[in-house]
Amino acid sequence: MQFQKKQWVLRNEMPQDGEARAELLAQETGLSPLLTKLLLLRGYKTVEQIRTFFEQSDTSFYDPFLLSGMDLAVERILRAIERGETIAIFGDYDVDGVTSVTLLYRYLASKGARLRYYVPNRFGDGYGMSQSSIDEIASDEATLIITVDNGITAVREVEYATSLGIDTVVTDHHECQAELPDAVAIVNPHKPGDPYPFKELAGVGVIFKVVCACELTLAKRAGEEDTLDVIQRISREYLDLVAVGSVADLMPLTDENRLLVTYGLERLKNTERIGLRALMDAASGDRPKKINSGYIGYQLAPRINAAGRIETASRAVELFLSEDAETAKLLANALCEMNAQRLAEENRIVESAYRKADALPPEEREFVIVLEDDTWHRGILGIAASGLTERYGIPSILISFDGASRGFPAGDDLGVGSCRSVKGVNLAQALDACASLLVKHGGHELAAGLTIRRCDVPAFRHALNEYIRSHLDEKGVAGAVEYDCEATSSELTLRLAQELSAMEPFGQGNPEPILKLSDVTLLDVTPIGEGKHSRFRFQKDGIQWTGVKFKCSPSRLPVSPGDLVDLLFHLNINEFRGTSSLQLQVEELRPAESLAKEMRKQEERYREILSGASFSPKEEVLPSREEFALVYKILRTQERESTSLFSLPRLFDLCGGSVGYIKLKVILSVFDELNLCHLTEPVPNTYLLEFPKVTEKTDLSRSALLARLTTQQKN
Q: Where are the domains of the chain?
A: 7-57+482-591, 64-270, 360-478, 594-712
Entry pTM: 0.77
- In angstroms, the CA 249 to CA 507 distance is 10
The yes-or-no verdict on residue 1 having pLDDT over 50 is no
How much is the pLDDT for 324?
Answer: 94
- Phi (first) and psi of residue 24, to 5 degrees: -65, -40
Q: For residues 672 and 698, is the Cβ–Cβ distance under 8 A? A: no
Architecture of domain 594-712: Orthogonal Bundle (1.10)
What average pLDDT does the segment 195-216 reach? Answer: 96
% residues pLDDT > 70 (the chain): 93
Fold of the domain built from segment(s) 360-478: Diaminopimelate Epimerase; Chain A, domain 1 (3.10.310)
Cα of first residue to Cα of last residue in the chain, in angstroms, is 43
Task: Give, in order, the Cα–Cα distances in Å from 376 to each of 89, 398, 682.
Answer: 32, 9, 28
Ramachandran area for residue 413 (φ above 0: left; ψ -120 to 50: alpha; else beta):
beta
Residue closest to 379 by CA, chosen among 396, 351, 402? 402
Residue 709 buriedness (CB in 10 A; 0-12 / 13-18 / 19+):
buried
- In angstroms, the CA 101 to CA 148 distance is 7
pLDDT digits 0-9 by tens, 4-39: 567 788 888 888 888 899 999 999 999 999 999 999
Q: Which residue has the higher pLDDT, 123 or 323?
A: 323
Average pLDDT over all residues of the chain: 88
How much is the pLDDT for 440?
Answer: 80
Q: Which residue has the higher pLDDT, 563 or 64?
A: 64
Q: Do domains 7-57+482-591 and 64-270 have the same CATH topology?
A: no
- In angstroms, the CA 585 to CA 515 distance is 10
The yes-or-no verdict on residue 314 having pLDDT over 80 is yes
What average pLDDT does the segment 87-93 reach? Answer: 94
What average pLDDT does the segment 80-85 reach? Answer: 97
Three-state DSSP at 141 gives coil
Give the lowest-confidence range in 430-444, 560-574, 617-631. Answer: 430-444
Residue closest to 543 by CA, chosen among 493, 501, 585? 493
pLDDT digits 0-9 by tens, 124-161: 666 678 899 999 999 999 999 999 999 998 899 999 99
How much is the pLDDT for 641?
Answer: 62
Residue closest to 200 by CA, chosen among 186, 190, 208? 190
How much is the pLDDT for 659?
Answer: 86
How much is the pLDDT for 678?
Answer: 78
Q: For residues 400 and 449, is the Cβ–Cβ distance under 8 A? A: no
CATH class of 64-270: alpha beta
How much is the pLDDT for 405?
Answer: 59
Cβ-Cβ contacts under 8 Å for 623 (sequence gap 6 or more): 631, 659, 663, 666, 667, 670
Residue 638 identity = Q
How much is the pLDDT for 2?
Answer: 40
Of these ranges, 3-12, 417-426, 462-471, 535-544, the one predicted with the greatest mean pLDDT is 535-544
Fold of the domain built from segment(s) 7-57+482-591: OB fold (Dihydrolipoamide Acetyltransferase, E2P) (2.40.50)
pLDDT digits 0-9 by tens, 396-430: 999 998 765 566 778 888 888 988 888 778 888 89
